[in-house]
Structure formats: structure tokens, C-alpha cells
A and B are shown apart, each in its own frame.
Chain A
Amino acid sequence: MPEPRTIVAPQFDDAAQQQETSMLGMWVFLATEVMFFGGLFASYTMYRALYAQAFAAASHHLDIVLGTLNTAVLLTSSLTMALAVRSAQVGARRTTATLLVVTMLLGLAFLGIKGVEYYQKYVDHLVPGPSFSFSGANRHDAEMFFYLYFVMTGLHALHMIAGVGVMSVLTILTVRGRFTPAYYNPLEIGGLYWHFVDIVWIFLFPLLYLIGHHT
């Protein structure tokens, strides 16, 4: 099968301009995502500063093993994503597709583990709302912690789901031979998005799971 030509959209002068433009576009988009999550991080920072002890007590109810495991899963998925982009750079189509699928599976694993954690919280009556029950002095402040936990990890999970969707599209395009060493923009910018979602979790993990000293 002949190598596909790199298609340059009509508003661009050449492929290089197209590539640089799409990269800058994704980075600007990631800056907006930083601000989107940022509102939640600002809220978290404020309440943690005000209710430090309650937050620490509440945090101890999170499963540190699952949290660490999930972090490792995501870090691995970032590795496989970076390797997938690299495979496209050197024209190794099958390897690219395989690595993308592995990345997706790791992402789904992350979501699965998250689901298990959410279910555990539900069973333990730690979901904010009428069924919330927390034994300890600062019931309301602990409820605030769990509210932030669910909203922040929930928003993160939504972004993961979108990321898995993006990965599946990229996988299909790879298998169809859409990418060459001369043109792999969508893979690169998809990778940037995936790594960003990983970075959000890199901050969520210590802020939510590792508050206060664990014995």
C-alpha cells in the first residue's frame, strides 16, 4: 500500500505550520483545563487550610493501597502513550496501535479501580448527602472533604473517559494507516491531553489520600 500523503488543510501554507499550530492549540487548551480544575483546587486549598484536622481524619478513610495502585497505573499509561507516539514517529504502525490499546486498557483499569473505591465509600456511608455518617468530632468538615473528593476525582474520571474515547479513535486511525513519520499530529496532541489528565491525578493523589500522617 503506498504511503498516504500528508494532507495539509487549506488555511495552512505547509505541513510544518499545521503541526506547530495544532501543538500550540492543544497547549492553550490545556491551559484552560488547568484553570477549570483550578477552581476546584482553590476550593480544596481553602477548606483544607480551615479544617486541617477534619480533612486529615477523613483522608484516612481513603484506601491508600488502591490510590497508590491507581497512580502507578496512570504513570504506566503515560509511558505507553509516550512510546506509542514514538512508534508513530518511526513508522512502526502495529506497535503504535498495540501501545494505544494498552494505554486504553490501563485507563479503563484506572476507572475500574476508581469504581471499586466509589462503591466502598458508598457502602461505608461516606457519600455526602442524607446517608453520610462519620464518627468523629468534625462531621460536617469531613463531609466537606468527601464532597471535594467526589467532585474532584469525578471530574478527573470524566476527563479519563473522554481520554479513552480519544484513544479509541486514534487506535482506529492508526490501524487504518492514517499516520506516517511525516504526519502524526493527532497522536501527539492526543498524547498531550492524556499526560495532562495524568498530571492532574499526580496532584490529586497526595492532596486527597496522603493528608496527615498515616500510622
Chain B
Amino acid sequence: MTTHIVPVRTYVAVFVALLVLLAATVAVNFVSLGELNVLAAMVIAVCKMCLVMLFFMHVRYSGRLIWIYVCIGFYWLAILIALTLGDVLTRAWLRP
């Protein structure tokens, strides 16, 4: 079985990056960006998730099948949220 052995250095570097992103997300919260605050927080969260997935969960070293199933989970979640929000946010568009 030839699973890639990731060097300790890489793991530690990822960890440091995660802590930096954590600091960033807290710091951004103290700056008033209005609507963009949510976006910034989500972008940072997605970056952290990608770091954890690619390196700690070895997705970077995994085959195409794993990549497909990783994406499937998020795509389906996106459908649930998008279409539900689509209803909720458009109810007010048409008032009799």
C-alpha cells in the first residue's frame, strides 16, 4: 500500500496557517464591513476547511473518486440551501 507520508513540517505549516486564519476571522469581526463581514468570514472558513481537507484528510494525495465524493456532499448541501432560500427570499416580491 503506497499511501503518501506527509512530512511533519507540512502538517505544522498547515496548523500555523489555520491559527493565522483563525486570528484573521476574529480580527475582521471587529472591523465594520457591513454586508461583507459575512462574506469575509465564510471565505476564511472555506480556506480553513480546504487546508484541513487537503492536508490533514489527505485529499490532496487521494484519487479522483475521493475528490468526487468530497464535492458531492457540498454540492448537495448547496442545493438544499439555495432552493430553500430561493423560496423564503422571494415571498415578498409579490404582494397582492
Contacts and interface: CB of A to CB of B under 8 A. Distances in A.
B93 interface: no
A31 B45 contact: no
Given A46-B88, A50-B88, A89-B5, A210 B26 contact: yes
Interface of B: 1, 3, 5-6, 8, 11-12, 14-15, 18-19, 22, 25-26, 29-33, 37-38, 41-42, 44-45, 48-49, 52-53, 55-58, 62, 65-66, 69-70, 72-74, 76-77, 80-81, 84-85, 88-89
7 contacts: A19-B1, A24-B66, A35-B77, A64-B26, A79-B56, A202-B49, A211-B38
Interface stretch (A80-88, A133-141, A146-154, A155-163): A80-88
A2 interface: no
Interface stretch (A37-45, A105-113, A115-123, A170-178): A37-45
A45 B81 contact: yes
A169 interface: no
Interface class of chain A by DSSP: helix
B69 to A, nearest CB: 5
B69 A31 contact: yes
B25 A206 contact: yes
Contacts of A203: 45, 49
Interface in A18-47: 19, 23-24, 27-28, 30-31, 34-35, 38-39, 41-42, 45-46
B11 A79 contact: yes
B52 A199 contact: yes
Given A28-B69, A214-B30, A82 B11 contact: yes
Interface class of chain B by DSSP: helix
A83 B8 contact: yes
Contacts of B88: 46, 49-50
Nearest to B62: A23
A27 B69 CA distance: 7
A16 B31 contact: no
A102 interface: no
Most buried by B among A31, A203, A212: A31
Given A19-B1, A68-B22, A195 B44 contact: no
